[in-house]
Amino acid sequence: MTTEIQRLQNEIAAAETEHNAYRDQVRTEVLTQHFEGTWCLPGTQDVLADLNLRPITMAYQGYASLRVVITNVADAASVEEAEARVAEALDIVNSDPSVTITFDGVDPQLDKKQHDDR
């Protein structure tokens, strides 16, 4: 009896493995249809949902350039000190957990400007 149970368990495991491989093949074919431009994203998502397969999750990556105008760094003894204070003062705040931001630091470029307080 134990041998028969083990044989059936092995058959079930093999069938599950084969079924999962087939589902992976189907998902790959559905994704191929989408990425070749045959199916639109909403249609592809519908097909995946109908087949109870994992949907496509889109991710985008790129760079953002910011232009920050620094109008005054008061009481800095040198341009280097002013640049260091600006670099320390600037920071990126991300309130959206679905967006990952890598902050590479700040490289301020300041010009010395004489200020006449007469």
**Residue 90 region by backbone torsions, left for phi larger than 0, else alpha for psi between -120 and 50, else beta:** beta
Domain edges within the chain:
2-50, 63-118
pLDDT of residue 103: 80
Residue that has been written with the tokens 């600037």 in this structure: 90
β strands within the chain, DSSP E: none
The tokens describing 89, both together, are 């003062």
Q: Tell me the pLDDT of the chain (118 aa) as tens digits.
A: 789 999 999 999 999 999 999 999 999 999 999 989 999 999 999 999 999 999 988 888 888 888 888 888 888 889 899 989 988 888 888 899 988 888 877 788 887 766 555 4
